[in-house]
Chains A and B, each alone.
Chain A
Amino acid sequence: MKRFWSANNFTLTALSMIMAVVIGAVLIIISDSTVLAKFAYFTARPSDAVSASWLLVSTAYADLLKGAIGDPAVFSAWFSGEATWQQAFAPISETLTYAAPLVFTGLSVALAFRGGLFNIGAQGQAVLGCIAAGIAGFTFGLPIVLNLIVAVVAGVLGGALWGFIPGLLKARTGAHEVITTIMLNYTAGLFLAWLVIQQGIQAPGRSDAISKAVAESAQLPSPGGVLRVHLGIVLAVLTTAGVAWLLNKSAFGFEIRAVGANPHAAKTAGISVAKTYVLLMAVAGGLAGFGGATQVLGTAHALTPSVAGNIGFDGLLVALLGRNRPWGTLFAALLFGALRAGGNRMQSFSGISLELVTVLQALIVLFIAAPALVKAIFRLRASRATGLGASLAKG
């Protein structure tokens, strides 16, 4: 128990989430005028304010859980034959749907970070992945399976190109990857906005900014109906395993870690730092591009200017929360997916703004990025086993 109550990663993450939830509860109460009005006569009859606050906060968080994992009422309706199994599993399907692209973009950021590069460009790389996968998806008209594979590969290559450019610039000219990737994010986003209204790309008969739909044979298979989950989440798990192997078992992974730990030492040891940077950024870009491809081929099925949403930037948070480890990133992405799916229900059922979910996500990451704060609040003992500060201080 004593060991548990020390500043290890697990305890810190859990406590960060608790802190975020508590602050979120305060925000929920403050933003509800009817409940807040009850606090005006708190001294006269405190029970009113307390019970109203409790009711509000507990239903809100219950909805968050029900929307992310499942609603017991729907499950019992399913057992008694009043609802279908699809309805019962719809919440978990939403969670996985939102998580799938975040796994890829998170891995992209995490992998680059292990090599000492801060890849802010996951957004742009994901957008390029969307573009390449989308265009391949509605252009070639190949037979089933092959069409999907071609579209996914196109997406990965698109993202890899957008990662390769800053990698090359860094290796050849020393241009800082943070600057170049941020600039390439804008380029990618505006390129997409321009592209979708061009002839041959824009959906025929539409005057708004939307492309042709991806051919059915190039879409990631999904159960359909209320279940939006698709093959992307399976690919995400496999990719996580692949990245874990790459990082920990392969020669290239060793080079990445060596360069990340100390580029000068790595150079002295005979590792080509420039080559590692270029290759690493291309691989990271490819991962983000994969994420963009799952977004287009799995959920959106057509290109629009905001098709990539915020998956690249959320990927940064996911990687940070997952402490730049492949499996950690996977779980962090699942948590973010769950918050998003639950947030939709919280907004829909309890009328609490979706922005609160964004605030919750931000708070969790904030506390994790500032471990000293959580340690101080909960008076945790320092743990010898982990180098918390070390893994994040560089960011």
Chain B
Amino acid sequence: MQRKEGVLRPVRGKRIVAILAAGGLTLAAAACGEAPEESGSTGSSTAAAAAYKACMVTDLGGIDDKSFNASAWAGLQAAKTEAPNVDPKYVASSSEADYEPGLRGFVSQGCNFILAVGGLMGDVTTKVAKDSPKSQFGIVDSSSGNTNVYPMQFATHQAAFLAGYLAAGYSKSGKVATYGGMKIPPVTIFMDGFADGVAQYNKAKGKDVKVLGWDKAAQNGSFADSFIDQSKGKSIADTLVGQGADVIMPVAGGTGLGTAQVAKDSNGKLAVIWVDQDGCTSAAQYCDVFLSTVVKNIEDAVKQAVVKGAKGEALAASPGYLGTLENDGVSLAEFHDFDSKVDPALKAELDKLKADIIAGTVKVESANAPK
């Protein structure tokens, strides 16, 4: 090894010079742009004077999961347009062990609003909030006994109920399916609502549309055990399609993209109902396979909370925020490419059903609903 080096040295020296020269030339060519005016930077310092630091800790999905964390982050950035003193930042967690350091890091940084995204962070948020009574926390999809934690929860089963009804009405095979990323209440609440929506359709039409992947009574079904593993989403979708499903609702963040890919490859035989953020904006490349989306308006909830906080208003831990069909915290998105394929009569029934749920004449219940 050592002998070789000696032989190589002189040649290598020249080679490095050559590489540097070549690199330098390309850089120089790329660096000839015009310098901007000097004055641009003074404006921002006044806004930063009373900055409201809104800091977010993602869960394992990461910041660009096209769903859950992405919505919350979009909410922080949307808040910035309404209240310019909002200064959003985030840390991504790569394992459960990162939640606590992430939250504590923001406490010591003096963040004005610390957002924990996800029910999995419930316990650790409660613990850190107890140790840091002066900081204001917020949590999505969980509640906490602490007065300094602002809970943002969603009656997602209401919107998922509509999705179940839609899926049952759209399905030609008489079999629809759903699966979850992980067996936690914020996920299974979608599946409960979906199953009930299908049951409602069967009752109203005297049909027998089957739900694969979730048994509401037994609270058991298919789970990917991941919110990021697309190949898992693909294999689960293949299994469900093999069993005859032609509409699938994956409640699994990025894992669901694998299912969308299966739908894309099926040439229209399989339709997907997306969740959280409207699929046609968050995963636009698959827009042509999304029948609709069960929207959980995390973005709006987070935005409202942060804007409120930035204006100096108090965020009351009780009652916190509960998104429903009534306040548009949850909804069924547009049909986009499927608009012409959904029967107008079915659309009318969905509108009626939505009004009935808001009015309380149709009750949607789930053991996983936030209390």
Binding site for B on A (CB under 8 A): 39-45, 48, 67, 74, 87, 90, 94, 193, 197, 207-209, 225-226, 228, 299-300, 304-307, 309-310, 341, 344-345, 347-349, 351, 353-354, 372, 375-376, 382, 389
On chain B, the residues within 8 Å of A74 by CB distance are: 108
A209 touches B31 (CB 8 A): no
On chain A, the residues within 8 Å of B55 by CB distance are: 348
* 11 more CB-based (< 8 A) A-B contacts, given A208-B120, A353-B92, A354-B94: A41-B31, A41-B33, A41-B36, A43-B31, A44-B32, A225-B131, A300-B96, A304-B96, A348-B106, A354-B91, A372-B2
B102 touches A348 (CB 8 A): yes
On chain A, the residues within 8 Å of B106 by CB distance are: 348
B residues 22-59 in Cβ contact with A at 8 Å: 27-28, 30-36, 55
A344 touches B91 (CB 8 A): yes
Closest to B4 in A: A372
Q: How far is the CB of A146 from chain B (nearest CB, A)?
A: 27
On chain B, the residues within 8 Å of A305 by CB distance are: 225
B91 touches A300 (CB 8 A): no
On chain A, the residues within 8 Å of B91 by CB distance are: 344, 347-348, 354
Query: Is B145 at the interface (CB under 8 A from chain A)?
Result: no
User: A207-B188, A344-B101 in contact; A376/B89 too (CB < 8 A)?
Assistant: no
A48 CA / B262 CA spacing, docked (Å): 49
The segment from B178-186, B251-259, B285-293, B340-348 found at the interface with A is B178-186
B98 touches A43 (CB 8 A): no
Q: Which of A44, A226, A375 contacts B131 (CB 8 A)?
A: A226
**Central interface residue in A87, A228, A299, A349, by most chain B CB within 10 Å:** A349
B92 touches A354 (CB 8 A): yes
B97 touches A300 (CB 8 A): yes
Query: Is B219 at the interface (CB under 8 A from chain A)?
Result: yes
User: A304-B96, A306-B96, A349-B105 in contact; A48/B35 too (CB < 8 A)?
Assistant: yes
B109 touches A349 (CB 8 A): yes
B residues 172-231 in Cβ contact with A at 8 Å: 182-185, 188, 219, 225
B96 touches A226 (CB 8 A): no
A185 CA / B55 CA spacing, docked (Å): 37
A302 CA / B74 CA spacing, docked (Å): 33
On chain B, the residues within 8 Å of A353 by CB distance are: 92
On chain A, the residues within 8 Å of B188 by CB distance are: 207
Selected A-B contacts with CB under 8 Å, 13 pairs: A40-B30, A41-B33, A41-B35, A41-B36, A193-B225, A208-B184, A209-B182, A225-B131, A300-B96, A344-B102, A347-B92, A348-B109, A376-B8
On chain A, the residues within 8 Å of B31 by CB distance are: 39-43
B33 touches A44 (CB 8 A): yes
A226 touches B104 (CB 8 A): yes
A42 CA / B28 CA spacing, docked (Å): 8
Closest to B106 in A: A348
On chain B, the residues within 8 Å of A45 by CB distance are: 35
B94 touches A208 (CB 8 A): no
On chain B, the residues within 8 Å of A208 by CB distance are: 120, 182-184
Query: Is B334 at the interface (CB under 8 A from chain A)?
Result: no
4 nearest A-B residue pairs (beta carbon): A42-B31, A348-B105, A44-B35, A41-B33
A225 CA / B12 CA spacing, docked (Å): 55
B residues 92-140 in Cβ contact with A at 8 Å: 92, 94-98, 100-102, 104-106, 108-109, 120, 131
A43 touches B95 (CB 8 A): no
On chain B, the residues within 8 Å of A225 by CB distance are: 131
Q: How far is the CB of B23 from chain A (nearest CB, A)?
A: 12
A292 CA / B138 CA spacing, docked (Å): 32
On chain B, the residues within 8 Å of A67 by CB distance are: 105
Closest to B120 in A: A208
Query: Is B1 at the interface (CB under 8 A from chain A)?
Result: yes
Closest to A305 in B: B225
A39 CA / B225 CA spacing, docked (Å): 44
